[in-house]
Amino acid sequence: MLRPLAIIAVLAISLGLACGGGDGDATATIVVIGGDEGEGVELTVELARTAGERSRGLMLREELAEDGGMLFVFPGDTEAGFWMKDTLVSLSIAFIAEDGTILDIQDMEPLSEDKHRPPAPYRYALEVNQGWFEERGFGTGDRVEIPDGVTEGE
């Protein structure tokens, strides 16, 4: 009987940490990705808004939830590259313009130091499990609805 209560406590603590731990700074949100038909798919993403959060990214994670990811938020348009050093999960990355348009999608291999950059400056980058975009039919030109209030933190 104590065991289920302990599991519930751990889940509650984990959920609190994933949602900002009660400090008022949400570290997770939901984005909606849609195509031309207007059908959207919700994705729960962790936010990487500060330089430290963006630098750490998804390093050392052994898995990523099927409909989870990380949204990197920059203070302005950037041409910064991404690599997979110390990242253990195969990922796909979408580079996204300020208006939410997907500019480019690239696959990234674990532990690779190859740099990934889109052909044009971008404002956001969205990392998900490799193949997530392709499996759902999303590509360049589709849109990501970024919630109001998701801003760069430093």
Q: Where are the domains of the chain?
A: 26-145
Sequential pLDDT tens for the chain (154 residues): 433 333 333 333 333 333 333 333 448 999 999 866 667 899 999 999 999 999 998 998 989 999 999 999 999 999 999 999 999 999 999 999 999 999 999 999 999 999 999 999 999 999 999 999 999 999 999 999 999 888 766 5
Q: What is the pTM of this model?
A: 0.80
Q: Specify whether the CB–CB gap between 104 and 79 falls below 8 A.
A: no
Pairwise CA distance, residues 16 & 100, whole Å? 28
Pairwise CA distance, residues 127 & 64, whole Å? 10
Which tokens hold the place of 45? 């993403």
41: exposed, middle or buried (Cβ count in 10 Å: 0-12, 13-18, 19+): middle
Pairwise CA distance, residues 58 & 56, whole Å? 6
CATH 1.25.40.10 describes domain 26-145: no
